[in-house]
C-alpha cells in the first residue's frame, strides 16, 4: 500500500487515517477474513472491522457484499468533529445510503491529522491479479458530501481481452496520478485554510458583534503574526503591529493566553464596555477576537512606541527625552486616569499603570494603554475582591492585603510612575554592591536629606524647571504613600499639576515610612524579582488571565 512499513506501523507519528476495503486476509495485520471493511489509524491493523455488507433500512437485516463481485459499490466515510464519531457505510451503487453505518467508532482525529494533511486513494493487488476502480467521489467539510449522480458515472470495463495500447499504458497512470495530486492539493489547501482561521465563538457573543474582529482579518493584518511585526512581549502577552486590509488602519494586536472559560463572558463584557471610552490620553481599545486558548485584543497603533524605551535607551545615538516632553506626558496620563476614575459612566481601575503601558502617538503625546487587567464597577459601589494582579514595584500595600482594586491603588502606581519618569530609574533599583531597594525609598531618602534634585535623571544634564521637578517628585511620594487615605485623588493631582491648588505641606512625620520593609511585612518580597530592564515587566508580573477573572 505504500502507507507504512514494518518499522513504523502503529506509530502515532504516522498521522494516518484510512478506510480499507480488503480482499486479502493478512494474518500479520489481524484481518478477520478476505472480504472485510476496516478503520485504520496509524497502522494497517484495523481498530475496527466487519464483513463487507450493509444493513437493510426496513427490517435491519444484514446484507452481505462481495468486494470481488465486479459490482460497483458506494462507500460513505463521515466524521463529526464535535462527537468525534467515525461512521463507515457501504452499499451497492444504486442503493440510497443506509441509515445504520457498517462501522462506527469514537476517535479524536484532531490528534491524528496534522497540518498539512493529504487526502487520496491507495491500492495494491497483493498476491493475486486484481483491478481497483474509483468511478467518482465527492467531499464535504462542515456539511454532508454532495450526492453523486450515479447516472453520470462511467461503466466498469468489461472483462474482454483487447490489445493493450502502449500509449494508454503510459499516459493513464500519469494522468491518474496528476488528477489525484491536483484534487489532493485542493483539499489540503481547503483544510489548511479552514484550520488557519478557526475561531472560538459562543452564542452569548452575538450581542458583542460590532466589537469582534475576524481572526482572518487580524492574521492578514500581521502577515500571520510574523516576528518582524512584533512590538513587544511581556508577562501578559505578545503585541504585534498590523494594518487592516480593508480600511488600511494601523492597529496593535495583543495575543493573551486564557486557558479557562471561567469568567470569560464577564471579561468580554468589560472589554467591550472599555471599548466605548474616548479620551485623547487613552489608547483606544477597538475590539477583540477569540481563538482556541487565546484572547486577542485590538488597539489603536501608537507609532512612537512605549515610554520606557525612551527612558531606558542604551543607544548613544538616541536622544534623551527632555523635561518638557516628560512633564507633558505626565499631565496627559494624569488626565486620562482622572477620566477613568471619575468622569466616565463607570469607575474604571486600570490595575497596570507603568511606563511600558504608556504609549506615544505621532505628536509624542502620552496615552495610557493596555486595558487587559482593568476592572469596572458603578460609581458609589464598593469594589469586589479579585486576584492580585499588576507589576511588582507598582502594587499598593492595601491591594496585596485585601485584593480590592480601587482608584487609590491606581494612584499608588501613578506615584511610582511619576518617580520613574523624573528619575529615569526603574521601580526597583540596584546599587554597585548588588543590593536591591525600591525607587520610592531612594527618593524619600533624598527628600529627608534635603537633596531632592539629586534624584533627577542625570541625562537631563540639569536642563529642567526645578519647580516642576520638585512638584512631581513630592507628588510622587505623596501618591505612593503606603496609607491609601494619605494619597490624593486624580482630580487633586490634576489641580496640583495645573497649579490650581498648591501641594499640601509635607512634614517628616507624613513621610516617615520605608516601603520595602512595609511590603515585606505584608508578605510580598519584592526583592525576589530580577532587577534587569528586560525582565522586570515580565518576571515581576502576577497575572490572572490564565485562570479567568
What crossing angle do the helices spanning 466-479 and 439-448 adopt, rounded to 10°?
A: 120
Instruction: Name which residue leads in pLDDT, 324 or 527.
Output: 324
Residue 338: predicted pLDDT: 97
The rounded percent of the chain whose pLDDT value lies above 70 is: 82
DSSP secondary structure string for all residues of 324-374: HHHHHHHHHHHHHHHIIIIISSSEEE-S--SGGGEEE-TT--EEE---TT-
CB atoms within 10 A of CB 113: 16
In the chain the domains, ranked by start, together with CATH numbers, are: 12-156 (2.60.40.4220), 201-301 (3.30.200.20), 304-547 (1.10.510.10)
Instruction: Name which residue leads in pLDDT, 494 or 531.
Output: 494
Residue 548: predicted pLDDT: 30
Residue 549: predicted pLDDT: 27
Q: Which of 45-54, 192-201, 435-444, 451-460 has the lowest mean pLDDT?
A: 192-201
| Model confidence band, residue 462 (pLDDT cutoffs 50, 70, 90) | very high
Instruction: Name which residue leads in pLDDT, 177 or 471.
Output: 471
Q: What are phi and psi of 302, to 5 degrees?
A: -105, 110
Residue 225 has pLDDT above 80, yes or no: yes
Q: What integer is the mean pLDDT of 104-131?
A: 85
Residue 164: predicted pLDDT: 63
Number of alpha helices (DSSP H) and beta strands (DSSP E) in the chain: 12, 21
What distance lies between CA 412 and its chain's CA centroid? 30
Residue 211 has pLDDT above 80, yes or no: no
Whether the CB-CB separation of 61 and 90 falls below 8 Å is answered with no
Residue 331: predicted pLDDT: 97
- Which is nearest to 442 in space by CA: 516, 508, 509? 516
Residue 317: predicted pLDDT: 60
Q: What integer is the mean pLDDT of 183-194?
A: 74
What crossing angle do the helices spanning 323-338 and 466-479 adopt, rounded to 10°?
A: 40
Residue 533 has pLDDT above 70, yes or no: no
Q: What integer is the mean pLDDT of 409-431?
A: 93
Q: Which of 22, 31, 352, 410 is catalytic?
A: 352
| Model confidence band, residue 544 (pLDDT cutoffs 50, 70, 90) | very low
- Average pLDDT over the chain, rounded to an integer: 83
Q: Which of 1-15, 80-94, 351-365 has the lowest mean pLDDT?
A: 1-15
| Model confidence band, residue 18 (pLDDT cutoffs 50, 70, 90) | very high
265 is an annotated ligand-binding site residue: no
Residue 162: predicted pLDDT: 60
Instruction: Name which residue leads in pLDDT, 530 or 199.
Output: 199
Instruction: Name which residue leads in pLDDT, 7 or 279.
Output: 279
Residue 207: predicted pLDDT: 53
Residue 58 has pLDDT above 60, yes or no: yes
Residue 292 has pLDDT above 90, yes or no: no
| Model confidence band, residue 41 (pLDDT cutoffs 50, 70, 90) | very high
- Which is nearest to 308 in space by CA: 243, 274, 357, 263? 357
| Model confidence band, residue 10 (pLDDT cutoffs 50, 70, 90) | confident
Q: What integer is the mean pLDDT of 454-474?
A: 95
| Model confidence band, residue 262 (pLDDT cutoffs 50, 70, 90) | very low
Residue 187 has pLDDT above 90, yes or no: no
Strand partners, 19: 39
Residue 204 has pLDDT above 50, yes or no: no
- As given in the structure block, the three cell numbers for residue 272 are 467591550
- As given in the structure block, the three cell numbers for residue 130 are 486484481
Q: How far apart are CA 457 and CA 206, in angstroms?
A: 51
SS3 of 305, please? coil
Residue 339: predicted pLDDT: 95
pLDDT in tens, 334-363: 999 999 999 999 999 998 899 999 999 999
Residue 433: predicted pLDDT: 77
- Residue 308 bears catalytic tag: no
What distance lies between CA 472 and its chain's CA centroid? 38
Best-predicted range by mean pLDDT among 152-156, 434-438, 527-531? 152-156
CB atoms within 10 A of CB 416: 27
- As given in the structure block, the three cell numbers for residue 383 are 469594589
Strand partners, 547: none
Whether the CB-CB separation of 420 and 358 falls below 8 Å is answered with no
Residue 241: predicted pLDDT: 93
Q: What integer is the mean pLDDT of 492-498?
A: 96
Q: Which of 321-330, 376-385, 441-450 has the lowest mean pLDDT?
A: 376-385
Residue 160: predicted pLDDT: 62
Q: How far apart are CA 311 and CA 303, in angstroms?
A: 17
The rounded percent of the chain whose pLDDT value lies above 90 is: 42
Residue 543: predicted pLDDT: 31
Residue 532 has pLDDT above 70, yes or no: no
Instruction: Name which residue leads in pLDDT, 302 or 533.
Output: 302
Whole-model pTM: value is 0.59
What distance lies between CA 353 and its chain's CA centroid? 22
What is the enclosing helix (H) or strand (E) of 86? strand 85-92
| Model confidence band, residue 538 (pLDDT cutoffs 50, 70, 90) | very low
Amino acid at each position: 500500500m505504500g502507507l507504512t512499513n514494518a518499522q513504523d506501523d502503529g506509530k502515532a507519528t504516522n498521522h494516518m487515517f484510512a478506510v480499507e476495503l480488503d480482499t486479502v486476509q493478512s494474518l500479520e495485520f489481524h484481518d478477520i477474513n478476505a472480504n472485510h471493511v476496516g478503520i485504520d489509524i496509524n497502522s494497517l491493523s484495523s481498530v475496527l472491522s466487519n464483513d463487507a455488507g450493509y444493513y437493510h433500512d426496513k427490517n435491519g437485516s444484514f446484507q452481505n457484499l462481495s468486494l470481488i463481485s465486479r459490482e460497483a459499490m458506494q462507500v460513505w466515510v463521515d466524521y463529526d468533529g464535535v462527537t468525534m464519531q467515525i461512521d463507515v457505510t457501504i452499499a451497492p451503487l444504486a442503493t440510497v445510503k443506509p441509515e445504520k453505518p457498517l462501522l462506527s467508532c469514537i476517535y479524536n482525529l484532531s490528534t491524528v491529522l496534522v497540518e498539512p494533511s493529504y487526502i487520496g486513494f491507495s491500492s495494491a493487488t497483493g498476491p493475486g491479479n486484481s483491478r481497483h476502480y474509483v468511478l467518482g467521489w465527492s467531499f464535504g467539510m462542515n456539511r454532508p458530501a454532495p450526492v453523486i449522480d450515479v447516472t453520470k458515472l462511467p461503466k466498469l470495463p468489461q472483462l474482454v481481452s483487447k490489445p493493450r495500447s502502449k500509449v494508454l499504458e503510459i499516459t493513464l497512470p500519469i494522468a491518474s496520478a496528476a488528477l489525484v495530486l491536483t484534487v489532493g492539493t485542493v483539499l489540503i489547501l481547503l483544510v489548511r485554510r479552514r484550520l488557519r482561521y478557526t475561531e472560538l465563538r459562543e452564542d452569548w457573543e452575538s450581542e458583542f458583534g460590532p466589537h469582534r474582529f475576524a481572526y482572518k482579518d487580524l492574521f492578514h493584518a500581521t502577515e500571520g503574526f510574523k516576528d518582524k511585526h512584533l512590538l513587544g512581549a511581556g508577562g501578559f502577552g505578545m503585541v504585534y503591529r498590523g494594518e487592516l486590509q480593508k480600511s488600511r488602519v494601523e492597529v496593535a494586536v495583543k495575543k493573551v493566553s486564557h486557558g479557562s472559560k471561567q469568567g470569560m463572558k464577564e471579561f468580554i463584557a468589560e472589554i467591550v464596555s472599555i471599548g466605548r471610552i474616548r479620551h485623547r490620553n487613552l489608547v483606544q481599545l477597538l475590539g477583540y477576537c477569540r481563538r482556541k486558548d487565546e484572547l486577542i485584543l485590538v488597539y489603536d497603533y501608537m507609532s512612537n512606541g512605549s515610554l520606557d524605551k525612551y527612558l531606558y535607551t542604551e543607544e548613544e545615538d538616541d536622544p534623551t527625552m527632555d523635561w518638557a516632553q516628560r512633564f507633558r506626558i505626565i499631565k496627559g496620563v494624569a488626565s486620562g486616569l482622572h477620566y477613568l476614575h471619575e468622569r466616565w459612566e463607570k469607575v474604571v481601575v486600570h490595575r497596570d499603570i507603568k511606563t511600558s503601558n504608556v504609549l506615544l502617538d505621532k505628536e509624542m503625546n502620552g496615552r495610557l494603554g493596555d486595558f487587559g487587567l482593568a476592572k469596572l464597577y458603578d460609581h458609589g459601589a464598593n469594589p469586589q475582591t479579585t486576584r492580585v494582579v499588576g507589576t511588582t514595584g507598582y502594587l499598593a500595600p492595601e491591594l496585596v492585603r485585601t485584593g480590592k482594586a480601587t482608584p487609590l491603588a491606581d494612584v499608588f502606581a501613578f506615584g511610582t510612575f511619576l518617580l520613574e519618569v523624573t528619575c529615569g530609574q526603574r521601580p526597583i533599583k540596584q546599587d554597585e554592591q548588588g543590593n536591591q531597594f525600591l525607587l520610592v525609598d531612594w527618593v524619600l531618602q533624598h527628600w529627608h536629606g534635603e537633596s531632592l534634585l539629586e534624584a533627577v535623571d542625570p541625562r537631563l544634564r540639569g536642563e529642567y524647571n526645578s519647580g516642576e521637578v520638585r512638584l512631581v517628585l513630592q507628588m510622587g511620594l505623596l501618591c505612593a504613600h503606603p496609607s491609601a487615605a494619605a494619597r490624593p485623588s486624580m482630580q487633586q493631582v490634576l489641580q496640583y499639576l495645573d497649579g490650581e491648588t498648591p501641594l499640601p505641606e509635607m512634614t517628616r512625620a507624613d513621610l516617615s515610612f520605608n516601603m520595602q520593609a512595609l511590603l515585606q511585612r505584608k508578605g510580598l518580597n519584592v526583592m525576589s524579582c530580577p532587577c534587569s530592564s528586560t525582565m522586570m515587566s515580565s518576571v515581576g508580573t502576577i497575572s490572572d488571565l490564565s485562570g479567568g477573572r
